Amino acid sequence: MQVRGEIDRKLAKSFKKLASVRPMEKITIRDITDEAGVIRPTFYNHFQDKYELLEWVIATELLAPIFPLLENDMTEAAMVLLFTNIEKERDFYTRVVRMEGPVTFHEIARRSVKKVLLELISERMSGKTPRYRWLTPDVVAAYYAQSMCFITENWVLQGMPYSPQEMAGAYRYMITRSMEEILQEL
């Protein structure tokens, strides 16, 4: 008997294989289960739909590995790992970033990143009063999730022309400077 994690990975592998060669909008649950060698009800015992499966892939394969680095204030190393893992599955991420329809990659990725960042920020802000009342953990997490997703999605849409190290450096450069500083340095 296969345990939940094994089935999740099997469905994710099947999904990524299919999404690497055709648009996500054209992939059905039957396609995923046939490729994985499981029956359709098995899919629905694990995921509501293919978008939830994509969210699981992002959370498990992209965000879980970088979480310990973020916890230890190693943002640039976390971003290198994130970009490297995306680059390893270039075909898959190139296609899913471009997906169209009522649910977008951006929406799923931003929500997933925000959840991870909210956990980190909430821990650090516990018991502290923010300098500005509107600067809640939710606002901070949303801001940085948006910036992380923006730089990552644009890199993918450009064809990943820069190395993960260069992209991580560029991200660190942007988040550690004010807009005025960046404009003066251009």
Rounded Cα–Cα distance for residues 46 and 57 (Å): 13
**pLDDT score recorded for residue 41:** 94
- Show contacts of 78-82: CB within 8 Å, 24+ apart: 79/148, 79/164, 79/167, 79/168, 79/171, 79/172, 80/164, 80/165, 80/168, 81/164, 82/148, 82/152, 82/164, 82/168
Of the candidates 91, 100, 110, 114, the one whose C-alpha atom is nearest the C-alpha of residue 153 is 110
The residue ranges of every structural domain in the chain are 4-46, 51-185
pTM score, two decimals? 0.90
Rounded Cα–Cα distance for residues 2 and 114 (Å): 31
Q: List the pLDDT tens digit at each of the 186 positions of the chain.
A: 455 689 999 999 999 999 999 998 899 999 999 999 999 999 999 999 999 999 999 999 999 999 999 999 999 999 999 999 999 999 999 999 999 888 999 999 999 999 999 999 988 887 888 788 888 889 999 999 999 999 999 999 999 999 999 999 999 999 999 999 999 988
- Architecture of the structural domain at 4-46: Orthogonal Bundle (1.10)
CB-neighbour burial class of residue 93 (10 A; exposed 0-12, middle 13-18, buried 19+): buried
Q: Per the structure block, which two tokens stand in for 46?
A: 């694990």
**pLDDT score recorded for residue 1:** 43
Rounded Cα–Cα distance for residues 115 and 107 (Å): 12
Of the candidates 17, 30, 163, the one whose C-alpha atom is nearest the C-alpha of residue 92 is 17
